[in-house]
């Protein structure tokens, strides 16, 4: 680990020098990349410096234990446990900072929520989940942009797709993919029986142009009139857009905007992200056995969480975490769950590195 840390420090100093190079400053693309790398390395280098200082202080105190002055020996003895505890904390922090980084962690996401089993109740739960993530985004000062939605008459969603953009969105929400189950008494239930419904959530890293290039020859574009509410303009013109990526069969439709061009731009963004997600799944297929040791596989058929309204309970089945604060969670207070998932993944990564 320490050999790696010296390499990190050397690279940090190299990047610092490059950032003051006029040739680099004039190349904005390279400059931005180096600036991001510098920011990523800063925390590691800072913590490593603190760790080295703690090690130096411990060595100094151990020497003082042999001092001829009894008061100096007593002072050194009293300080040593605190310094050793600090050294241990910093060493664990360094281990975490040196774990392999997910290259998608800095990306925005495409959030897709679909009602599953449960009919109207599942559609209402899909709307509840969307509000939960929207409120969590608001807490983090992220931006939520609706891409497409298929609403039901009672205020639910058959499907809702949104772009969430901000700082390290994917790193916080990537473990949300999977089947979310709800247990509650529907408003239409006269005998007070608890019903179980489910929704699937997909978290897709937003694909950038450098990630994926779609050839126009591989794309079929269909224009049609939007259905549902939207006013005379929406219904009388072919503003709705459906994109089909022929090689993969991925289809995306968007009709939320009155402008055909805006609908096409939104649909293209979702299409690229879905294809990028497929590419990532294929690239990691050979790691399927290893992924069983991680926090979920991201497989949207996997039941990951249960929201039990009568008990006010939310349980994440992957890590066995149960919290009795369902009302707060549905208001977007999901940091405790997310932090626990991240910690569990980091522990699994460390275990694999040590074995």
Cα separation, 226 vs 241, whole angstroms? 9
Residue 327 has pLDDT above 70, yes or no: yes
> What's the pTM value of the predicted model, to 2 decimals?
0.74
How far is Cα 337 from Cα 62, in angstroms, rounded to an integer?
Answer: 42
What are the structure tokens assigned to 305, written together? 């969480």
Q: State the maximum Cα–Cα separation within the chain, in Å, rounded to a whole number.
A: 95
Most confident of 182-191, 207-216, 304-313: 304-313
What is the structure's pLDDT at 281?
Answer: 78
Q: In this model, does residue 36 exceed pLDDT 90?
A: no
| Average pLDDT score over residue span 254-267 | 85
Q: Is residue 337 within a helix (H) or strand (E), and if so which, with residue range?
A: helix 335-354
pLDDT band at 234 (very low <50, low <70, confident <90, very high): very low
Give one DSSP letter per residue of 29-88, joined into a string. Answer: HHHHHHHHHHHHHHHHHHHHHHHHHHHHHHHHHHHHTT-S-HHHHHHHHHHHHHHHHHHH
pLDDT digits (tens, 9 = 90+) for 159-181: 999 999 999 999 999 999 999 99
Report the candidate in 51, 33, 30 with the shortest Cα–Cα distance to residue 97: 51
Residue 6: pLDDT band with limits 50, 70, 90: confident
Q: What percent of the chain has pLDDT over 90?
A: 48
Q: Tell me the domain boundaries of the chain.
A: 2-97, 109-210+300-354, 216-283
| Residue 242 neighbours by CB under 8 Å, 6+ apart | 221, 222, 223, 224, 251, 252, 253, 267
The pLDDT value recorded for residue 297 is 42
Q: Is it the case that residue 295 has pLDDT exceeding 80?
A: no
Average pLDDT over residues 220-236: 63
C-beta of residue 331 within 8 angstroms of C-beta of residue 306 = no
What pLDDT, on a 0 to 100 scale, did the predictor assign at position 66? Answer: 87
Q: What pLDDT shows up at residue 168?
A: 92
Q: What is the mean pLDDT of residues 234-245?
A: 75
Residue located via tokens 């905007």? 257
Domain 2-97 has CATH 1.20.58: yes
Tell me what pLDDT residue 174 has. 94
Residue 263 has pLDDT above 80, yes or no: yes
* Percent of the residues in the chain that have a pLDDT greater than 70, as a whole number: 89
216-283 is a CATH 3.30.160.20 domain: yes
pLDDT digits (tens, 9 = 90+) for 73-111: 899 899 999 999 999 999 988 988 888 888 889 899 999
CA distance 228 to 324: 40
Domain spanning 109-210+300-354: CATH 3.30.70.1660: yes
Are the C-beta atoms of 101 and 174 separated by less than 8 Å?
A: no
pLDDT over threshold 90, residue 291: no
């Amino acid at each position: 680990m320490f050999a790696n840390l010296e390499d990190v420090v050397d690279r940090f100093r190299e990047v610092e020098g490059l950032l003051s190079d006029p040739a680099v400053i004039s190349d904005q693309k390279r400059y931005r990349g180096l600036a991001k790398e510098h920011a990523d390395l800063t925390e590691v280098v800072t913590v490593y410096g603190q760790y080295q200082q703690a090690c130096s202080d411990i060595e100094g105190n151990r020497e003082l234990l042999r001092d001829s002055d009894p008061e100096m020996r007593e002072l050194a003895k009293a300080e040593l446990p605190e310094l050793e505890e600090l050294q241990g904390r910093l060493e664990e922090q360094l281990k975490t900072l040196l774990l392999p980084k997910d290259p998608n962690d800095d990306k925005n996401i495409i959030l897709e929520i679909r009602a599953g089993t449960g009919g109207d109740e599942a559609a209402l739960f899909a709307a509840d989940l969307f509000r939960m993530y929207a409120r969590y985004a608001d807490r983090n000062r992220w931006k939520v942009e609706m891409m497409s939605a298929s609403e039901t008459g009672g205020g639910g969603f058959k499907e809702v797709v949104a772009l969430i953009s901000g700082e390290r969105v994917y790193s916080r929400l990537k473990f949300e993919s999977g089947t979310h189950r709800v247990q509650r008494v529907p408003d239409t239930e006269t005998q007070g029986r608890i019903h179980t419904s489910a929704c699937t959530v997909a978290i897709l890293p937003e694909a950038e142009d450098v990630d994926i290039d779609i050839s126009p020859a591989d794309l079929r574009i269909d224009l049609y009139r939007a259905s549902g509410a939207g006013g005379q303009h929406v219904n009388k013109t072919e503003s709705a857009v459906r994109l089909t990526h022929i090689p993969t069969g991925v289809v995306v439709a968007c009709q939320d905007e009155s402008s055909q061009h805006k609908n096409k731009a939104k649909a293209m963004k979702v299409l690229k992200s879905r294809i990028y997600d497929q590419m990532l799944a294929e690239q990691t297929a050979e790691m399927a056995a290893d992924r069983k040791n991680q926090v979920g596989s991201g497989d949207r058929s996997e039941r990951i969480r249960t929201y039990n309204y009568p008990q006010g309970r939310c349980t994440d089945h992957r890590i066995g975490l149960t919290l009795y604060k369902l009302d707060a969670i549905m208001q977007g207070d999901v940091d405790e769950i997310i932090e626990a998932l991240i910690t569990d993944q980091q522990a699994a990564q460390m275990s694999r590195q040590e074995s």
